[in-house]
Structure 1
Amino acid sequence: MLVSADLSSNLTISDTQSYIDLETTYGADNYHPLDVVITKGKGAWVWDIEDNKYLDCLSAYSALNQGHCHPRIFQAMVEQAKKVTLTSRAFRNDQLGKFYEKLCQISGLPKVLPMNSGAEAVETAIKAIRKWAYTIKGVAKSQAEIIVCSNNFAGRTISIVSFSTEEQYQHGFAPFTPGFKVVPYGDVAALEAAITPNTAAFFLEPIQGEGGIMIPPDGYLKQAERICRRNNVLLVFDEIQTGLGRTGKMFAFEHEGVKPDGITIGKALSGGFYPISAFLSTSEVMDVFNPGDHGSTFGGNPLAAAIAIAALDVIVDEELPERAAELGNYFISKLQAIPSPHIEEVRGRGLLIGVELKPEAGGARRFCKALMKEGILAKETRENIIRFAPPLVISRSDLDWALERIEQVLIAS
């Protein structure tokens, strides 16, 4: 029996612990957040409910490349919301085609299939790859294989965790989707050895984000491209976290000048205002889809399309990839100069940076908690790595402010 709840008491909540208690009482225990309750944000900064100010050095896992509540994207959202928000794909709308055109011009790929979450974009890519294998390459029915890399992260659906090498992501969720083969990240010889006549694609992150900001050896992506071309294997990149300016290029694959057959994007595609993602590919790959093969009620809706157009315009007009390149080089060099006994390595590209700590440092989370007390919000990944990924609109003076506090924490903690 459903019992009506008196929600009026919620209006008086003003302390951090009460908000935390609400989440733990009514929500699933599937995240391990820092105990800060954010109530507003602007640019690279956020404020909690007690009006404490923090520098956001996570950017919602790179969804906020344009910063919090960018006024130009906000205005586009408001204007479109006044007109029409959803039509479904049963009908056309006047924003979708313009969104497609802009995304194709920016990416260099000619076709788009819009979805909502990053995981949905990856699922879309998997379906496109498999159907291409059967209808174009001629792989026997149900035999297509997709090669992926160890330490990957592409989402948490059943098919995606099926090719994860992280034990927790799979524990308790079997049986898994077959058809994936795992090779070590950055190992060209292993990639070549894994290819068979049934190989449909090599799907990988150009830089592994959740895996610990792992950057492959120089030339790895270009060598992988050559191997794929020789073997009639698709090369598809997961650019959901690395794309749209984060690494100092519009897309991370551009650092090596490769031309992929497909990419998945999301996160910063909306500047943090709305769930928007897409799979982009060559015409040969995308044309395997026929009406009814794939879709989404909300994918490609006019509100999402209008927001994405504005979000992409901000990235281009404000030269955010160039900012990420310049400020990233500065940030990395300053972090590498910190004389902390806890630091094993500082690595990154653009404003996607990992500070790996020595095993005896006691894990990265305690440092993230200490940074929070100093007004900096960062998050650990892979237990021993602090990820720094601030909005690309951040100023050099804000970075200097953060660096003073980061150095104090990494030396004193």
Structure 2
Amino acid sequence: MTSLPDSQSAELAEAESSMRAGSFESAVEILAKIVERGEDPEAVFMLASSYLELGQYDDALRHATAAVKSEPSSAPARDLLAKVNLAQGDYDSALSDYEAVAALLREQTPAPPEQYAIPAHFALRNIEQLDHIVSANRDEQASANAAGEQLEGIRRGLAEAIDGADGEAPWIPVNQKSTRLFADPPFFKVPEERLPQYLNPEVDYEPIQQALSIGRLDSQVVDDFLTPDALEQVRKFCLESTVWRHPYKFGYVGAFPQDGFASVSLFAIAEEFLDALGDAFSEYQLAQWWAFEYDARLPGTDIHGDDADFSLNFWITPDSANLDPDSGGLVVWDKTAPSDWTFDDYNSGGERVKQYLEDHDAESTVIPYRENRAVLFKGHLFHRTDDFTFAPGFTNRRRSLTFLFRRRKG
């Protein structure tokens, strides 16, 4: 590989410094000159990123497309193209891009060492999901080795280990073919056809529109959020797609777009929700989304704030799984982090956040769990999962989806 001239390396370093400082106009000036001199992949990628930050989406699309063409196996380049298409509201292209990103990352993930460890709750939920997929007559061959008495014995052992934990989930060794299956299940994603409608047409969004228009919306509950068919489609996607790849120490597991958590239904919900809020929400766009799945024997997400103007949480587990209807949802405080706090400061939870809320006499609102309930709130407000008591069993696990909306740039 030919090394870059010293002058060009210095220009790239200067452009990177400008981007870190938020001076994207300065970065564009530098990077555009480099790109004009020749197709340097790093400069093209950085230029597309800068245009995206400036809200110049046509230029961002042109250069992100060039970055992918220059380096087709680059997951970061394809991820950037996905973000640009998402910002433009081209959900079909964004879905195709995120599927490509997930495939590239799977192909490029290094083989694990002979022995390593994973959280017990992660292995347990993977076992339960593989068993559920077999029961649902999907991908039976991929899960054949995980069936039978051996599976049930491992399941019992993991459940006992989690029951004996004090807050954080214990870890278990991975050193055999069977346990590797539970650490990294075969990838499968439920195919979907777009439904005629996703959001419940009976919901009146006018009160939310009015609150948004006068800047008075802190949190708002929407019950019966999705149509029955849409709820069932999303639930099936979450139950049977093996896209849950991020375990957290407090007993929950996350699914993200780069893992394959992108689908027809998810983008359709975001699109219809933006349309439902109309002009009052026209300055905002879908920026990120994920889902969390919880083990009822372990705590949920700690107090944190989101990097978003507005967050939308909605819950898909049946009410029959929730053994305490007065809890299990969301706790939202009336305070946001100080302006000098970093993302890690306000997003990672911990004693500092709790002390801050106590020092500032923050008041909390508890929103109980309900199946098919959505909660829209200011994303920077501190919030956490409420204490919950859900019935055992894979389909009974508490599942929460989050969409982040940010103000359009440019």
Does the pair score TM above 0.5?
A: no
Considering Cα pairs closer than 8 Å and 6+ residues apart, tell me whether 1 or 2 has the greater RCO. Answer: 1
Q: How high is the TM-score relative to the length of structure 2?
A: 0.25
Structure with higher helix content: 2
